[in-house]
């Protein structure tokens, strides 16, 4: 089957001989190009017998086979005898195979009873709750082991992860923080200017960044960046049986893979949140100085009147929790990943969605607690 041959096109012709139809096939039949249509060749003829012969057939593949199969089906439907005796044995054998291959497949029934679906969903939720509980429990025990014997901890992996999720995230966290501060200041300026209270832009930006937006935006960025990376890495390791290899050596994958990541992201998130706070306040300063003509010193002094250490600490506490949530979600979904490319993709998506959902829930809980404590 030459790849580049200058080939004569497939051709088929039919002529009536008494009550028979003689069909002559020739040329080159290639599956990638159009072939003659059986129906057009037969036309309105109503033979009692169809005989197929090959004339100057140069080269053929499944294209000819499909044509013969079409002829065979037509003959069966019209109750006409098909004489394929002059075809080469190889072609006859293939024709027999394609006829035999049809209709063997019974569609796989993938439908489910709605009631059983509900039951399965309940079992699924219960299994997931158990998995999460086990995972959190194992991580807690691993943390206790770490506290008891810090020498055995994978510090090198932890530092590498800290660099990945901390230092490498500085540009994106900084940019987002700055833009959020800028946006907050613009929004506040529109409202406050009407009351002649321009200077309170500093209070608004400072308080919102330090208590809410700094930790939350950092958390969301890290959920998409670090949480997804954790899930993808661990998912790939699971697919490649690396995690099984840890288990069969008796090495706890939680100690070896999860804890360094968890510690790294939990330590780095508050630092990044503080960095985002700082750049958010600077973003507000730009708007205050540029749009509202507030001197930078006045902005800074005014901000300090409403932002105190308790606000800063509440933001840091939140971001530590957010870091833990991101690390746990990423590692859990990675370890739960199915052993396939699709499974890894799903676990990555799931890690991000789970982390963001839990961040918002945790933020709401903290809002209530801090309110009750008067912080």
CB 110 within 8 A of CB 226: no
Among 19, 86, 93, 244, binds another protein (CB under 8 A): 93
User: Residue 21: which H helix or E strand, with range?
Assistant: strand 20-28
Q: Which residues contact 150 (CB under 8 A, 6 or more apart)?
A: none
Q: Which is nearer to another protein, 31 or 364 (CB)?
A: 31
89, two tokens: 């044995």
Q: How many Cβ atoms from other residues are within 10 Å of residue 250's Cβ?
A: 6
Does position 7 interact with another protein (CB under 8 A)? The reply is: no
- Least distance CB 68 / another protein (angstroms): 12
Residues with Cβ within 8 Å of residue 232, at least 6 apart in sequence: 334, 344, 347, 348
Instruction: Kindly tell me which of 69 and 275 has the beta carbon lying closer to another protein.
Output: 69
- Residue 34 contacts another protein per CB under 8 A: yes
Taking CB under 8 A as the rule, does residue 40 contact another protein?
no
Q: 56-85: which residues touch another protein (CB under 8 A)?
A: 61-63, 65-66, 69
Tokens standing for 38? 């059986």
Q: Choose one: 11-19, 104-112, 310-318, 321-329; the region binding another protein (CB under 8 A).
A: 104-112
Residue from 2, 150, 171, 196 that binds another protein (CB under 8 A)? 2
State which of residues 13, 37, 56, 97 lies at the interface with another protein (CB under 8 A). 97
Is the distance from CB of 201 to CB of 208 less than 8 angstroms? no
Smallest distance, Å, CB 341 to another protein?
A: 6
**45 CB contacts (<8 Å, ≥6 apart)?**
14, 16, 21
Residue 261 Cβ vs another protein, minimum distance, rounded to whole Å: 27
Minimum gap (Å) between residue 27 Cβ and another protein? 16
What percent helix, strand, coil does the chain show, rounded to 5? Answer: 70, 10, 20
Query: Is 228 exposed, middle or buried (CB count within 10 Å of its CB: 0-12, 13-18, 19+)?
Result: buried
Segment interacting with another protein, rule: CB under 8 A, options 3-11, 48-56, 253-261, 313-321:
3-11
Give residue for tokens 């800290």.
Answer: 162
With CB under 8 A as the contact rule, the residue among 3, 151, 309, 373 that binds another protein is 3
Letters for 107-136 (x = contact with another protein by CB under 8 A, - = none) are xx----------------------------
DSSP code of residue 9 = B
The token pair at 160 is 């590498």
- Tell which one of 76, 101, 118, 167 touches another protein (CB under 8 A): 101
CA distance readout (Å), 115 to 120, 121, 129: 9, 10, 21
Q: Which helix (H) or strand (E) holds 350?
A: helix 341-373
Which of 4/371 has CB closer to another protein?
A: 4
Q: Which is nearer to another protein, 44 or 110 (CB)?
A: 110
Q: Quick one: residue 374, left, alpha or beta (phi over 0 = left, psi -120 to 50 = alpha)? A: left
Nearest to 132 by CA among 356, 359, 354: 354
Q: Which stretch binds another protein (CB under 8 A): 36-44, 90-98, 291-299, 303-311?
A: 90-98
The count of chain residues that interact with another protein, using the rule CB under 8 A, is 32
- Cβ proximity of 205 and 181 under 8 Å: yes
CB of 223 to another protein, least distance (A): 26
Q: Are 90 and 60 in contact (CB under 8 A)?
A: no
Q: Which stretch binds another protein (CB under 8 A): 18-26, 55-63, 179-187, 200-208?
A: 55-63
Under rule CB under 8 A, which residues in 313-372 are in contact with another protein?
Answer: 340-342
Residue numbers 186-245 binding another protein by CB under 8 A: none
Binding site for another protein (CB under 8 A): 1-5, 30-34, 61-63, 65-66, 69, 90, 93-94, 97-98, 100-102, 104-108, 340-342
């Amino acid at each position: 089957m030459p790849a580049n041959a200058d080939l004569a096109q497939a051709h088929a012709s039919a002529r009536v001989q008494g009550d028979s139809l003689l069909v002559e096939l020739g040329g080159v039949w290639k599956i990638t190009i159009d072939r003659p249509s059986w129906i057009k060749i037969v036309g309105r003829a109503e033979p009692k017998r169809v005989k197929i012969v090959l004339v100057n057939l140069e080269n053929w593949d499944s294209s000819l086979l499909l044509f013969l199969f079409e002829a065979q089906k037509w003959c069966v439907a019209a109750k006409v005898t098909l004489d394929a005796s002059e075809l080469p044995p190889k072609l006859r054998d293939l024709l027999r195979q394609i006829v035999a291959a049809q209709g063997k497949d019974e569609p796989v029934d993938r439908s489910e009873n709605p009631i059983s679906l509900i039951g399965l969903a309940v079992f699924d939720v219960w299994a997931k709750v158990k998995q999460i509980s086990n995972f959190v429990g194992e991580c807690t025990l691993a943390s206790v082991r770490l506290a008891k014997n810090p020498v055995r901890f994978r510090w090198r992996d932890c530092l590498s992860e800290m660099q990945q999720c901390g230092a490498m995230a500085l540009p994106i966290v900084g940019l987002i923080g700055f833009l959020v501060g800028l946006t907050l200041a613009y929004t506040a300026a529109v409202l406050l200017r009407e009351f002649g209270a321009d200077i309170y832009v500093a209070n608004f930006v400072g308080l919102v960044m330090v208590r809410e937006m700094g930790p939350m935006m950092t958390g969301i960025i890290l959920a998409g960046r670090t949480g997804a990376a954790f899930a993808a890495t661990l998912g790939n390791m699971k697919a490649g049986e690396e995690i099984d290899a840890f288990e069969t050596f008796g090495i706890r994958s939680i100690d070896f893979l999860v804890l360094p990541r968890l510690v790294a992201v939990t330590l780095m998130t508050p630092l990044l949140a503080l960095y985002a706070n700082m750049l958010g306040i600077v973003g507000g300063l730009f708007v205050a100085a540029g749009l509202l003509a507030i001197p930078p010193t006045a902005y800074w002094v005014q901000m300090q009147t409403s932002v105190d250490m308790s606000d800063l600490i509440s933001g840091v506490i939140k971001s530590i929790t957010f870091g833990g949530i991101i690390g746990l979600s990423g590692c859990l979904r990675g370890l739960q990943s199915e052993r396939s490319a699709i499974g890894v993709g799903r676990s990555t998506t799931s890690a991000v969605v789970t982390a963001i959902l839990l961040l918002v829930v945790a933020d709401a809980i903290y809002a209530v607690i801090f309110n009750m404590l008067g912080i």
